[in-house]
Amino acid sequence: MGEALTKLVDKHPNRWSQHLPDVQLAYNTAVHTSTGVSPYKLVFKEHPRSKFEIITEKISPATVREKTERLRETVSEVFQKAQESDAKLAEKRRER
């Protein structure tokens, strides 16, 4: 991300923050060779929608509930994995 941002702000380095959202979106939606999917898809389990899709989509209450529940499950899984990772690191430190 840093390299892409550097190229975008080459002539105006003080404007880096204006480009950050676009660079972040490009990074998070690009397919990574190590996983075969984008970070966005790994976290949200679906491809990101364009602004046009979001604006024109008709969403039913059932769809909102379903997506909310999937997001809760994903957040819970990520949080649990982070706790497990922290516990392993703490255990390694205690063993030293």
Q: What's the domain range around 35?
A: 1-57
* Number of domains composing the chain: 2
Within 13 Å, how many C-alpha atoms sit on residue 34's CB side?
A: 2
- Helix ranges (DSSP H) in 1-96: 2-8, 16-29, 39-44, 51-56, 61-95
pLDDT confidence bin for 59, thresholds 50/70/90: confident
User: Do 20 and 1 share a structural domain?
Assistant: yes
Which residues have C-beta within 8 Å of that of residue 40, sequence separation ≥ 6? Answer: 28, 29, 47, 48
pTM for this model (two decimals): 0.49
Burial class (CB in 10 A: 0-12, 13-18, 19+), 7: exposed
What pLDDT, on the 0 to 100 scale, is given for residue 6?
81
User: Do 15 and 52 share a structural domain?
Assistant: yes
User: Do 33 and 7 share a structural domain?
Assistant: yes
User: Do 51 and 37 share a structural domain?
Assistant: yes
